[in-house]
């Protein structure tokens, strides 16, 4: 984590068009090594899906991309994660700004117990915006981008928690969009909502990828096949062994012509 990133690595990253470039990442919970040797380049303005059985470390890996794991005591990262060529684990990195740039959507929609308006205004406010007119604009913009404006524009003062599950999840997406992120990390965003709402979120993702880099963790292989451009398959051979990145390629290739036998077994439903 502390060792300097080789200059050629940075240069390569700048040229490759990868938004995030992870090199040889190991992740530890205390003494337990949960991830080993993950090297992956996450493409700009594309949707990358992380798939794999439960406990394969894909959520852990996702959360290491905006240092959410820092909040868990006793976790440790080795290796480098370059965001636009800059190591996010370097000592001079402002974690608060990193998390603004790399926003996160969670499995369980988690709107604050505030009004719809205040949920969206929360982010801009914590980053220092006070002007009411500007806040109004951001709220409308963000809700529009999240395909939710038409449904809620007449009830912005109502509690965000009164919305349906799918709407709540889109509210959470709007809330993240309000702080103007570059990357969206989505941790199984549809696992707790119905198929119609899932459809809406997937449509939304497709629209958002023009302006954002999106990474989604999903248990649902059809979803990965439907929405993603790239797919990474993670697997831990055994519960007490660290998980590894088994295969990473364009989604079409991973699903139709995987290189690794284990990937093929997983996507054809032979385990997991």
Q: Closer to other proteins at the Cβ: 148 or 254? A: 148
Which range of residues in 23-31, 34-42, 64-72, 242-250 is near other proteins by CB under 8 A? 64-72
The 3-state DSSP class for residue 108 equals coil
The 3-state DSSP class for residue 81 equals strand
Of the candidate residues 108, 191, 220, 265, the single one contacting other proteins (CB under 8 A): 108
Give me the least distance between CB of 74 and other proteins, in Å please.
Answer: 10
Give me the least distance between CB of 105 and other proteins, in Å please.
Answer: 8
Give me the least distance between CB of 2 and other proteins, in Å please.
Answer: 22
Q: Closer to other proteins at the Cβ: 23 or 100? A: 100
Of the candidate residues 116, 176, 183, 193, the single one contacting other proteins (CB under 8 A): 176
**In Å, what is the CA distance from 134 to each residue of 103, 119, 140?**
21, 15, 10
Any contact of residue 99 with other proteins (CB under 8 A)? yes
Give me the least distance between CB of 262 and other proteins, in Å please.
Answer: 31
Q: Closer to other proteins at the Cβ: 168 or 197? A: 168
Count helices and strands (H / E) in the chain: 11, 10
Of the candidate residues 60, 64, 66, 263, the single one contacting other proteins (CB under 8 A): 66
**In Å, what is the CA distance from 98 to each residue of 18, 103, 142, 179, 235?**
17, 9, 20, 12, 28
Q: Closer to other proteins at the Cβ: 189 or 242? A: 189
Q: Closer to other proteins at the Cβ: 95 or 241? A: 95
Residues 67-96 that bind other proteins (CB under 8 A): 68, 71, 73, 96
**In Å, what is the CA distance from 216 to each residue of 155, 227, 229, 232?**
30, 9, 11, 10
Q: What does the alpha-carbon distance between residue 207 and residue 135 come to, in Å, rounded to a whole number? A: 23
Is the Cα torsion angle 208, 209, 215, 217 positive or negative in sign? positive
Q: Closer to other proteins at the Cβ: 11 or 211? A: 211
Q: In what order do the strands lie in the sheet with 244-250?
A: 102-105, 183-187, 213-217, 47-51, 230-235, 244-250
Maximal CA-CA distance, the chain: 57
Rg for the chain, CA atoms, rounded:
19
User: Site mask, other proteins, residues 211-250, x = CB under 8 A?
Assistant: ----------------------------------------
Q: Closer to other proteins at the Cβ: 23 or 170? A: 170
Give me the least distance between CB of 164 and other proteins, in Å please.
Answer: 17
Nearest to 57 by CA among 33, 87, 21: 33
Judge contact between 20 and 83, C-beta under 8 A. yes
Interface contacts to other proteins, rule CB under 8 A: 66, 68, 71, 73, 96-101, 103-104, 106, 108, 110-114, 122-123, 125-127, 172, 175-176, 179
């Amino acid at each position: 984590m502390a060792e300097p990133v080789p200059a050629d690595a940075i240069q390569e990253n700048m040229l490759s068009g990868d938004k995030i470039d992870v090199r040889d990442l190991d992740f530890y919970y205390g003494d337990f090594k949960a991830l080993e040797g993950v090297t992956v380049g996450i493409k700009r303005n594309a949707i990358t899906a992380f798939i794999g059985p439960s406990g394969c470390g894909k959520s852990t890996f996702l959360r290491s991309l905006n240092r959410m794991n820092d909040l868990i005591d006793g976790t440790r990262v080795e290796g480098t994660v370059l965001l636009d060529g800059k190591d996010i684990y370097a000592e001079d990195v402002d974690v608060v700004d990193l998390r603004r740039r790399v926003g996160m959507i969670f499995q369980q929609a988690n709107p604050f117990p505030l009004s719809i308006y205040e949920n969206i205004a929360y982010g801009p406010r914590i980053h220092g915006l006070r002007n009411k007119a500007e806040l109004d604009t951001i709220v409308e913009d963000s809700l529009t981008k999240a395909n939710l404006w038409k449904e809620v524009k007449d009830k912005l003062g109502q509690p965000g928690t009164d919305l349906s599950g799918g709407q709540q999840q889109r509210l959470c997406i709007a809330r993240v969009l309000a702080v103007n992120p570059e990357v969206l990390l989505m941790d199984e965003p549809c696992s707790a909502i119905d198929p119609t709402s899932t459809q809406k979120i997937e449509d939304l993702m497709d629209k958002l990828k023009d302006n954002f880099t999106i990474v989604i963790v999903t248990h649902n292989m059809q979803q990965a096949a439907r929405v993603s451009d790239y797919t990474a398959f993670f697997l831990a051979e055994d519960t007490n062994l660290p998980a590894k990145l088994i295969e990473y390629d364009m989604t079409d290739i991973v699903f139709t012509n995987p290189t690794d036998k284990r990937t093929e077994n997983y996507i054809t439903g032979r385990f997991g």
